[in-house]
Homo-oligomer: A and B are copies of this chain.
Amino acid sequence: MSFVSPGTILVLGGARSGKSRFAEKLVADCGLERHYVATGRAWDEEMRDRIAQHRADRGDLWTTHEEPLDLVDCLSSIDSEGRAILVDCLTLWVTNLMMEELDMAAEFAALAEFLAGAKARIVLVSNEVGLGIVPENRMARDFRDHAGRLHQMIAATAAEVYFVAAGLPLKMKG
C-alpha cells in the first residue's frame, strides 16, 4: 500500500479503556463540525443501553449517523473539508460484515481507498481484541484475524495511531 491518509487517526484500545472518550476529545479539539458515525446494531437491551448512554454523553454538538454496513457510502455522504467524523467503532462494523457474510477484503480495501482521498478529518475507534487466549470457536478466531488485518491496513497509512489504556493515550505513530 503506497498511499497515505493524512486526515486519518486510528484509536485502538480495550473494553472500557476510555478510547471513545479520547477520540471524541480529539474531534472536539480540532474545532471542526462534528459528525458521529455509529456502526453498532442494537441487538438487545444491553446494547441499546450502551448506545443511548454514549449518545447522551456526547451532547448536542454532534450530528449522529447510524450505519452498520455501508460505511464507505455513509462516510462519502458526509465527507467535506471543515468537518471531523468519528467512526465508533470498526470492530462492530467488522462484526456486522461477518454476519452478512460480505467480502471482508473488498470492504477493507474500499475503506482504505476512501480514507486516502477523504477531505474530512476522520477518527476511527476500534477494539484491540487479539491479546487474550486463542478463542475456542472459529468465528471468534476469524473475527480476531479480520480486525487485526483491518487495524494493520489503516495504521499503515494513518497520520496518527493511539493505543488507549485506563483512559491514557499512548502514541504509536504520528
Bin chain A's interface residue count.
35 or more
Contact between chains at A143 and B133 (CB < 8 Å): yes
Within 8 A of B (CB), among A146-174: 147-149, 151-152, 154-156, 161, 163, 165-168, 170, 172-173
Is the beta-carbon distance between A166 and B161 smaller than 8 angstroms?
yes
- A157–B13 CA distance with the chains assembled, in angstroms: 20
Find out whether the CB atom of A163 lies under 8 angstroms from the CB atom of B165: yes
List residues of A whose CB falls within 8 A of some B CB: 10, 12-18, 46, 128-135, 138, 140-141, 143-145, 147-149, 151-152, 154-156, 161, 163, 165-168, 170, 172-173
Task: Give 7 new A-B contacts, CB below 8 A, not counting A10-B166, A15-B130, A129-B132.
Answer: A15-B131, A16-B130, A16-B148, A17-B152, A128-B131, A129-B131, A161-B168
